[in-house]
């Protein structure tokens, strides 16, 4: 279904708008049905020109590329890009690191890009992770999509693979991006909530845009409350093309897979982390690299020919769809390693400018209408944020694997000092012995795929984009029971914050097209009767479940990348502390000592043990597993300390392994800890504790919370 459809006639398109049906969202042809508006009610450009279609950008055919002449799209996105200065409008809260990419398998048959063909070549990279909705001063751990942007400094210029930790997106056409972000950001009249989607305007937009349903399933899953940036997947989201030496093209999807596995927090845990350490994910990434525990990802691709794309039951140009790995397995071709923290946060992390238009020869775009808008928007945004057309000269943005040279001159903050008379091309100055400057390279230069575009100009969406629920259904049904319960609970929490009943009802009506049980569980959690299902633009169908979409049961049981907290008191047995620390560190974990006072404790043998953290400032939400090594007198004191009781109670409630010596039993009892395989008695050996600490105790969940 990747080929262009025959466009509808103008009369048919006009007739399709005759009946108002805003709640139904995108219709069979992709258009939003609305009746004519009175002059004082109709939407216009900033210059008063009435807009006939605010849902679709102007394309050459329903599936063709977006056209530069679309002044409605350009004005809308350009205004959006310049709304706030200088903070990023989205992805403002971020953290980054330097690293290296090594190609392990060549794609020479598919692409002429050297970064994808020279096996063993190491390419310098800069990677920025981020949240989407919050401002630069928001916290690290809200429920939110995470940006995953990689700048490759290749031999043929910079390649910016600008993606997220989720493979799909909320919208199909870039013209809706300003509306999406306005809806999820702080409400315009009150300036809150910050970094949260649990409010009226976001869910109002979602209910009216059924194409967002698949993304909402991902957003409400545990993927959006990650344990660490080191443990998130990355996706290019959009469909791109690869071109070989003969300009033959294939479609490609890009994936990053963390070698530590995709891991998340619990929702209650994420909320408490926000209060305990607003910089939790930043600190985690920085500390890991600083200690030499370098994060690693496998780089993989899904490559499809035109014929394979045509055979899919969905449109490969639709950014709300993914290609299940069971249909087209991932092909691992390289490894990413982050090995150096930035020297200066502002100069590098804040000033880095990612552009989807940065592509070396051999990589090209597709006609994906979301990607087409991004090609304009990112460049325009950087002009606003960084204040000059010369932002490419900022060191973090400079091409490093090759020279950059052209005839573009002057401008604010020009740092280069060009020599000679030639500032235009073509020129013949070389014939007089002067430097004529660089020349175009018809053979090795960037060439675009020659896709046919001879179709009528339309503001319509292809019929192949009309199925909004089948993949959402596949995602939900592919989750484990635990993950389904978490997803339902997230929807209940979010919709409970929505004050407009009709908005909740509309979302429930859409959920019935995803899965009847899902909709019933959410309605029950809200205490609402289920409304009738909404009328889908295209009837959803059942796809095969995709176990690859799960988190639980997929990541490796390992202590690598994990942080163990050992709570100690005066009089504790130092041998037990040493056993836990030695065993945990040998298995790859980092260990921190927590004490009632930052000065540390005096152990039973009279020796001093230095503390890394003080109890009140180090709740158990900051650790992956905890051990309690107490003395009888120390435990007695902690029984009256709420922070100590909460330390144990939260560790148990967040499904973490708890190691303990006999003296700690009274504290366990007061915190309501029940015996289970994750509650381990510590002795001479810490083997049992280390095994339990390598994962969460999922079987405990029914003991600690009522699952939706």
Neighbour-count burial for 348-386, b at 16+ CB within 10 Å, e otherwise: bbbbbbbbbebbbbbbbbbbbbbbbbbbbbbbbbbebbb
3-state helix, strand, coil in the chain (%, to 5): 35, 15, 50
Of the chain, the end-to-end C-alpha distance in Å amounts to 38
Beta strand pairing call for 146-154 and 122-131: antiparallel
Q: What are the beta bridge partners of residue 156?
A: none
Q: In the Cβ-directed half-sphere of 233, how many Cα atoms lie within 13 Å?
A: 23
Sequence-distant (6+) residues with CB within 8 A of 204 are 183, 500, 503
Which residue among the candidates 56, 95, 158, 164 is catalytic per the annotation? 164
Rounded Cα distance between 305 and 307, Å, is: 5
Concerning whether 661 is annotated as a catalytic residue, the answer is no
Largest CA-CA distance found in the chain, in angstroms, rounded:
93
- Transcribe 435-471 into DSSP letters: -------TTTS---------S-EE----GGG---SHH
Question: Rounded to 5 degrees, what angle do the CA atoms 684, 690, 692 make?
Answer: 120
Which residue among the candidates 33, 91, 199, 486 is catalytic per the annotation? 91
Q: Are 192 and 493 in contact (CB under 8 A)?
A: no
Q: How many helices (H) and strands (E) does the chain have?
A: 19, 20
Spatial CA neighbour of 487 closest among 551, 406, 566, 421: 551
Concerning whether 91 is annotated as a catalytic residue, the answer is yes
Rounded Cα distance between 679 and 699, Å, is: 12
In the block, tokens 């175009």 appear at: 440
Q: What are the beta bridge partners of residue 94?
A: 130
**Catalytically annotated residues:** 91, 164
């Amino acid at each position: 279904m990747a080929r262009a459809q025959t466009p509808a006639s103008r009369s048919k398109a006009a007739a399709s708008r005759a009946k108002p049906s805003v709640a139904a969202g995108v219709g069979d042809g992709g258009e939003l049905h609305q009746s004519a508006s009175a002059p004082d009610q109709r939407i216009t450009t900033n210059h008063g020109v009435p807009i006939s279609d605010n849902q679709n950008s102007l394309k050459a055919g329903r599936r063709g590329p977006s056209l530069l002449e679309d002044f409605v799209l350009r004005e809308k996105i350009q205004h959006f890009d310049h709304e706030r200065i200088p903070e990023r409008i989205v992805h403002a809260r971020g953290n980054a690191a330097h690293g290296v990419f090594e190609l392990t398998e060549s794609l020479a048959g598919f692409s002429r890009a050297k970064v994808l063909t020279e096996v063993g070549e190491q390419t310098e990279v800069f990677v920025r992770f981020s949240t989407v909705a919050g401002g630069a001063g928001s916290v690290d751990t809200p429920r939110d999509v995470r940006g995953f942007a990689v700048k490759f400094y290749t031999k043929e210029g910079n390649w910016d693979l600008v993606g997220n930790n989720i493979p799909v997106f909320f919208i199909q056409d870039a013209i809706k991006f300003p509306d999406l972000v306005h809806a999820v950001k702080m409400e315009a009249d009150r300036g809150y909530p910050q970094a949260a989607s649990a409010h009226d305007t976001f869910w109002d937009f979602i209910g009216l845009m059924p194409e967002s349903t698949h993304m909402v399933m991902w957003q409400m899953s545990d993927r959006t409350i990650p344990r660490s940036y080191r443990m998130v997947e990355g996706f290019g989201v959009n469909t791109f093309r690869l071109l070989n030496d003969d300009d033959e093209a294939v479609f490609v999807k890009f994936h990053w897979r963390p070698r530590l596995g995709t891991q998340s927090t619990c929702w209650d845990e994420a909320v408490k982390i926000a209060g305990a350490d607003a910089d939790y994910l930043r600190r985690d990434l920085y500390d890991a690299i600083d200690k030499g525990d370098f994060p690693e990802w496998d780089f993989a691709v899904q490559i499809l020919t035109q014929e394979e794309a045509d055979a899919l039951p969905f449109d490969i140009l639709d950014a709300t769809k993914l290609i299940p790995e069971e249909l087209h397995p991932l092909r691992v071709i390289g490894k990413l390693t982050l090995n150096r923290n930035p020297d200066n946060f502002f100069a590098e992390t804040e000033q880095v400018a990612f552009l989807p238009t940065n592509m070396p020869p051999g990589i090209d775009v597709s006609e994906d209408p979301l990607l087409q808008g991004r090609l304009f928007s990112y460049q325009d945004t950087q002009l606003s944020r960084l204040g000059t057309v010369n932002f490419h000269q900022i060191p973090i943005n400079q091409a490093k694997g090759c020279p950059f040279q052209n005839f573009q001159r002057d401008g604010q903050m020009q740092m280069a000092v060009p020599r000679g008379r030639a500032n235009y091309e073509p020129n013949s100055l070389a014939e007089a012995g002067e430097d004529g400057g660089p020349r175009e390279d018809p053979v090795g230069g960037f060439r675009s795929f020659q896709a046919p575009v001879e179709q009528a100009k339309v503001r319509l969406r292809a019929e192949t984009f009309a199925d909004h629920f089948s993949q959402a259904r596949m995602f939900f049904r592919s989750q484990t029971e635990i993950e389904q319960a978490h997803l339902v609970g997230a929807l209940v929490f979010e919709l409970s914050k929505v004050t407009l009943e009709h908005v909740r009802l509309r979302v429930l009506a859409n959920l019935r097209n995803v899965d009847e049980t899902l909709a019933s569980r959410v309605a029950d959690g809200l205490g609402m009767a289920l409304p009738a299902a909404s009328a889908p633009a295209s009837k959803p169908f059942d796809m095969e479940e995709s176990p690859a979409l799960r988190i639980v049961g997929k990541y490796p049981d390992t202590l690598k990348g994990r942080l163990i907290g050992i709570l100690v008191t005066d009089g504790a047995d130092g041998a037990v502390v040493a056993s836990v620390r030695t065993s945990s560190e040998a298995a790859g974990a980092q260990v921190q000592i927590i004490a009632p006072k930052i000065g540390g404790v005096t152990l039973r043998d009279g020796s001093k043990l230095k503390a890394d953290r003080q109890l009140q400032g180090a709740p158990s939400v900051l650790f992956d597993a905890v051990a309690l090594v107490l003395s009888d007198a120390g435990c007695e004191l902690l029984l009256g300390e709420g922070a100590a009781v909460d330390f144990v109670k939260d560790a148990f409630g967040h499904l973490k392994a708890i190691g303990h010596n006999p003296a700690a039993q009274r504290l366990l009892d007061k915190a309501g800890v029940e015996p289970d395989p994750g509650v381990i008695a510590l002795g001479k050996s810490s083997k049992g504790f280390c095994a339990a600490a390598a994962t969460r105790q999922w079987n405990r969940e029914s003991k600690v919370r009522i699952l939706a």
